[in-house]
Structure 1
Amino acid sequence: MGQQVGRMPDTWEELIEERDRVLHWSSEVIARVADNIRDEDTFLMDYDNTKLDAKVDSWIENNKTRIEPTISKLPSSKSECTDLISAATAKICDETKQKMRKDYESAYGDLKKFTKRVDELGQDEQKIHNEIQQLEGSCANDVKKFQKKFGPLRLKVFNNLRTGEKMLFEDKKLKTAFTKKIYDIDHKYMNDCAKKFDKLTKDYEKCVAGK
C-alpha cells in the first residue's frame, strides 16, 4: 500500500479531510484482517477431521484390497483367524486417525499463533477506528485538541497498515510450510498403514497354520 503519514493539517476542514483519509486506510486494515480469517477458515477445511478420516479410510480400503488375494488363498474355518483381520483393521484405522489428528494439530501450531496475532491486530485497529470516529464530536472545532488526540491515532493506523502488509507475506510462508508438514505426515502414515497390513497378512498366515 505504501501510504505515508504526511504532515498534520492545521485547519479544521483539512483535519476532517485527513481524518477521512486515515479512516479509509483503517477500514482497509480491518477488512484485510477479516479476509485473512475467512481465507484461513476456507484453507483449513481441506485439513479438518472429515477430510482426514476420509483419507485414512481410503488407505484402509486400498490395503484391504491389496492383501485380499493372499487372504483368499488361505481360507480359514477358525473364527479367531477371520476375527483377527477385522479387529486389526479397525485398530489400525482408529489409531492412525488419532495419531494423525495430533500431528495435524501440532503442524498447525505456528499458523494458529499467527492467526491469533492477526485477530489481535484487527481488534486493535477497530478500537483505534472507533476512537478516530469520535474525535469530531469530542473536540468540537478545537484544532489543537483534535491534533493532539488525532496524531498518535493516525500514526498507529499507518503502523498497523505496514504490519498488515508484512503479515500477508508471512501468511503465505506459513501456509506453505504447513502444507509441506501435512504432506510429510500423510506419507508417513500412509506408509505405516501399508506396513501394518503387511504384518497383518503374516499374522493371518501364522494363525491359519496354527502357529
Structure 2
Amino acid sequence: MIRKAEFVVSNTDPAKCPKPDRAEIAFIGRSNVGKSSLINMLTGVKELAKTSQKPGKTQLVNHFMINDRWYLVDLPGYGFAKVSKDRKVKWEKMISSYLTSRSNLCGVFVLIDSRLEPQTIDLEFVNWCGEQNVPFVLAFTKADKQSKSQTDKNVKAFLNKMEEIFGEYPDYFVTSAEKQGGKEEVLKFIDDLISEYESERTN
C-alpha cells in the first residue's frame, strides 16, 4: 500500500538521478498510453504524474519517493510525440542510458494500450529490453475502454508475439486507471520486487 508519495527531482541526465541507495521501479510506454493516469491511480495521488491530452508531455526522468522506502520513476514516452528528430535521438539516448545503467532498478513496467493490436514500436522496445537484460513486466492499460473480450483478444495477441520473441510470456497485468483495475496485483508485485532487492542487499 502506498501511504506517501513525494516528487523528488526531474532531470535529463541519468547520472544526476538520486543516489542508487534504494529500490527503484520505472514506468514507460509510448506517448498517450495512459502512464500518468496509471501512476496516479497506483499512488492514490491525483496530480502526482501530470496527465495531459497532449502526447509526449513527460520529457524528463521524474523520480518520486514512495513511503520513504523506494523510488517510482516516470520515464519519457517513446513513439510519436511531435518533437524534432534531434530531440527524439536525445530522449532515446537518455532512456537507454537510464535503463541500462541504474544498478538499483528492480523492474520496469512497460505499458501497452489494450485497445490496440500489437504495435511494432512496443514490440521493438520490449525486444530491446530483453536484449539489454532490463527486467521488465507488461501493464496493459485502458482495459475499461472496450469490452472484456476485446481486451482479452488484444492482450493474447501481444503475449503470443512475446512468446515468439522470448519463448515464453513475461509477467503481465491488465489495468484500468479509472476503475482501479489491477491496482492491488501491481502493488503486491512491486512490493515483492522491493523486498527481494532489500533482502539481497542485506545478505
TM-score bracket for this pair, using the shorter chain length: under 0.3
Flag the structure with higher helix content. Answer: 1
- TM-score computed with the length of structure 2 as normaliser: 0.27
- TM-score computed with the length of structure 1 as normaliser: 0.26
Flag the structure with higher strand content. Answer: 2
